[in-house]
Structure 1
Amino acid sequence: MRQPESLGDYLLQHMNLTRDFGAGSLSVEQIADVTLIATAHSAGYAATSHLVSLLAALPVPSDEPHDFWFQLWQASGTPVLMPVNIKHQVLRALDGDGAGLADQLMTAVADMDPKQRTTAATVIGRHLADSAGLPPLEGPGLGELWLHDSEITAWRLLHADRSRTTWQTQTAFRDGWKSV
């Protein structure tokens, strides 16, 4: 996965605004442009933040041989969910780039057959009910909500990451709709 441009890099490239540029020197038009750029990037940042918060609802990896993550691996049948395999992408997501983590989570969930998904959802749901004081739902219900939320969030993040556009494509999109 490619490292997406940061907002600061984007502002430098497209508006020639360095990271230490004083905001008091901006015109109203430049402020509007910064706002537009920040808004365009917000979906990806919001999805990354939500994906990280979903992971934060699960236990922090431990050295115990049969911890939550081991149980999840056994239930799901995919080693992609082992902490050592997602560590790099989790750390990148904590720095604002969640595309790699989203891709790994979507792959892991997509690779599960229905029985593995139900078993993984049960492991996740049991932990969520025990640790967060959430009411347990029948069977894998709570864990299934977590899996579904992580899939939808990962899709949103990947869609936001892949749908970044340029000023030219935005203008063409707007002009195309104006001409209808």
Structure 2
Amino acid sequence: MIIPRFLDDDSELARHVAQQLNTPLDWPEDGGLTTGHVAKIASAAACDVSYNQAANGHLIDLFAALPLPGTPDGDKFWGALGNAGGNAALYIDPGNMGGPTFDRLARGNEAGIADRVLSFLSELDDQQREAVTRVIGDALAHDTLLAGGRYLGQLWLRDAETTAWHVLLAKRRLIETQDDRERFLEAWGNA
């Protein structure tokens, strides 16, 4: 999780929720769930869910920037990417990933695409990575006047790699974060 779940009742978010709901922070008095509690719940939910959805959405956007499979440009692009990346390119080949893959990603199957992207990139040798960079960059260059193809390919690969890592890290955080953080804070507090 990006922000701490430890919010006091007078946090900025709690004050915002109280203002939006037109309630005092401790409303209802002697009630089980106060405006401050609602703010804490909103913070935790927004952080966990939004971070995963944003990273997954960004992976979809990265692939959406590439030529579409099943089109003449897409068929040429994906064929060239397969030639450049060899067997590693099979991890992200549309025929191997299948159409429902991105639907599952959009609905929360975070690790599936991220694993494929990182496996693809980790199996490329230096020559293949350079060739893949050029194929992706050339495909992206026709839509922009900002930079040359090779540079755009490098940016796409770095962005895909970092985003996939964020997805996997966020997925891990949902499962292991609380215990890890407590151990971390204790260890560093005792250092």
Give TM class, smaller chain.
Answer: 0.7 to 0.9
Distance 1:145 1:66 in 2: 22
Equivalent residues of 2:53, 2:106 under 8 A apart:
no
Matching residue of 1:161: 171
1:73 deviates by: 1.1
Matching residue of 1:27: 34
Equivalent residues of 1:125, 1:136 under 8 A apart:
no
Tell me whether 1:147 sits opposite 2:157 in the alignment: yes
Tell me whether 1:40 sits opposite 2:48 in the alignment: yes
Matching residue of 2:127: 115
Structure 2: stretches of 5+ with no match in the other structure:
1-20, 22-27
Matching residue of 1:79: 90
2:77 is aligned, of 68, 76, 84, to: 68
Equivalent residues of 1:102, 1:155 under 8 A apart:
yes
Please, what is the CA RMSD of the aligned residues? 2.9
| TM-score relative to the length of structure 2 | 0.69
Tell me whether 1:50 sits opposite 2:58 in the alignment: yes
Matching residue of 2:16: none
**Number of residue pairs the alignment of both structures matches:** 156
1:108 deviates by: 0.7
Return the letter of the residue paired with 2:96: N
Larger Rg: 2
1:61 deviates by: 0.6
SS in 2 for 1:37: helix
Equivalent residues of 1:119, 1:140 under 8 A apart:
no
Deviations 1:48-80 (A, max 9, x none): 111111111111111549421111111111322
Higher relative contact order (CA 8 A, sep 6+): 1
Structure 1: stretches of 5+ with no match in the other structure:
1-22
1:46 deviates by: 1.5
Equivalent residues of 1:89, 1:98 under 8 A apart:
no
Distance 1:143 1:113 in 2: 16
| TM-score relative to the length of structure 1 | 0.72
SS in 2 for 1:67: helix
